[in-house]
Structure formats: C-alpha cells, structure tokens
C-alpha cells in the first residue's frame, strides 16, 4: 500500500505520523495521570472521546466528499487521516495560547465548563480541516493551505471575541456555564461556516482565498453578534432553570444552527 505514495507524500506521512503520536500522547498522558486527582472521574471521559469523535467526523467527510481518488483508495484515506490527526494535534496544542487548557482548567482545577468548550473547539477545528478536504486538488499541500485559512480564521475570531468581551475569562475563571455553552456553540457553528468556505475544487491559491472571503464573512458577523451578546450577559452561576436555557442552550443552538444553515445554503 505504501508504494502508492510519492516521495513528498511519504515524507509528509512520516512527519505527520510522528507529530500526531507526540501531540496526542501529550493529550492523553495528563488525562491518565493528572485526571486521577480530580474529584469526579467522569470529567475525563469527554477528553477521551472527543479525538475519536473528531476522527470519525473527518473519516465521514473524506469518505463522502473528498476527491474520488482519495475516497476510493484506502492508502490515501489513511494518508489524509494521519495528516488530519497531526493537524488537530497541533490545533489542540494552541488552545492554551487562547485561554483554554484542558489540563490546567479541567483536569487540575475541575472546571467542567472549560472542558466542554475545549471539546467544542476540537470539533470546530475538525470542521475547518475536514472542509479543506472537500473537492479535487493537485496534492496534499493544497489541503494544508485551505485548512490554514479556515483554522487561522477560527483562532482569530476567538481572539477577537476574547478581546471584545473577555469570554475566555468567563469560562475559565468565573466558570459561567451559560457563557461556556455559548462559547461551545460558537466554536462548532463558526467551524461549520469556515470549513464550508474552503471546500471545493482547487483552482489556485488566489481563487481559494477569494472564495473563502466571499463565503466566510458570516463568521465575522457571528463573532460580532457574540461580542454584543456577551457584553449584555452578566455571569450566572447556575446548573439549570430558565436562565440557563435562555442564556446558554438557546444562544448555543442559534450559533450551531446558523452554521448548519449557511453550510447547506452555500
């Protein structure tokens, strides 16, 4: 099977496999060790399941909507799954730079709110990478270019939201559950929009960028709307009730639904 790869593909596969092993070992090792000191062991299961759910999502997209020479070839399905694992490994390593740390916030401090936001961020990042695999292209490097466009935009919009309303602090310091739900909804909804914006057949880098800008602008509008919502919502420490529904679940549903509607509309 491996004799199907060109020299650059073989090198990319080797590097991606090494990066994937290293970065996901750094994800699961604290989960196995640090998590033992957490009062409720159940807090760890989302972190164990999330990478598997992301891998399943990527596999489904590759199987259904990638180029025919990828979706029908086990060797290239494996190739892009390994590339995706490495990409998402790098992605999860960047989360602490943007105020979200699975180890510090969840495993050590028992912050379940931050935990669900981290899981949603992984799903949103997977949508960004999966969209880059949709359509025909000349090689793996065009997938990385498209994935960089969408993933960098996701991080940039999250940074804008944090600067505009301090959402990361609401999640990690104040443990505001409705804010955590809204943040989780944003990551998934925005990931859907940005992933769709980079999907399609490759023509050139400039054409891909132009198509991305033409289709990704609703994500910026969504981020602006989220800043407005967050500034109007004071922290609420609640585990249920009407306030949690209207200030947490409902906005999160709107964010995800917006992403799904635009995904289908485009």
What is the Cα 59 distance to its own chain's centre?
A: 15
CA distance 28 to 251: 31
pLDDT tens string 250-266:
999 999 999 999 999 97
- The token duo for 138 is 């000349």
pLDDT tens string 74-118:
999 999 999 999 999 999 999 999 999 988 888 888 888 999 999
HSE-CB for 76 with a 13 A CA cutoff: 17
3-class SS at 66?
strand
Residue 194 and residue 153 in contact, taking contact as beta carbons nearer than 8 Å: yes
- The token duo for 193 is 């929009």
pTM of structure:
0.93
Report the candidate in 251, 111, 101 with the shortest Cα–Cα distance to residue 181: 251
CA distance 81 to 12: 12
- The token duo for 171 is 């999640």
pLDDT tens string 12-22:
999 999 999 99
């Amino acid at each position: 099977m491996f004799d199907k790869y060109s020299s650059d593909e073989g090198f990319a596969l080797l590097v991606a496999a090494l990066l994937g092993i290293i970065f996901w070992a750094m994800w699961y090792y604290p989960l196995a060790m640090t998590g033992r000191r957490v009062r409720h062991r159940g807090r760890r299961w989302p972190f164990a399941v999330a990478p598997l759910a992301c891998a399943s999502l990527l596999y489904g997209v590759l199987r259904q909507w990638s180029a025919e020479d990828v979706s029908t070839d086990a060797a290239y399905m494996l190739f892009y799954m390994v590339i995706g694992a490495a990409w998402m490994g790098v992605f999860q390593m960047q989360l602490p730079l943007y105020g979200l740390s699975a180890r510090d916030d969840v495993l050590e401090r028992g912050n379940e709110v931050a935990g669900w936001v981290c899981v949603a961020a992984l799903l949103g990042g997977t949508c960004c990478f999966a969209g880059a695999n949709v359509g025909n292209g000349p090689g793996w490097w065009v997938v990385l270019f498209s994935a960089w466009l969408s993933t960098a935009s996701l991080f940039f919009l999250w940074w804008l939201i944090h600067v505009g309303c301090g959402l990361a602090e609401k999640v990690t310091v104040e443990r505001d559950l409705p804010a955590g739900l809204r943040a989780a909804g944003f990551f998934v909804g925005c990931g859907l929009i940005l992933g769709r914006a980079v999907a399609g057949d490759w023509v050139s880098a400039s054409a891909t960028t132009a198509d991305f800008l033409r289709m990704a602008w609703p994500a910026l509008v969504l981020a602006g709307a989220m800043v407005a919502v967050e500034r109007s919502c004071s922290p609420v420490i609640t585990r249920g009730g009407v306030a949690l529904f209207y200030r947490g679940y409902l906005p999160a549903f709107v964010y995800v639904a917006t992403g799904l509607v635009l995904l289908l509309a485009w």
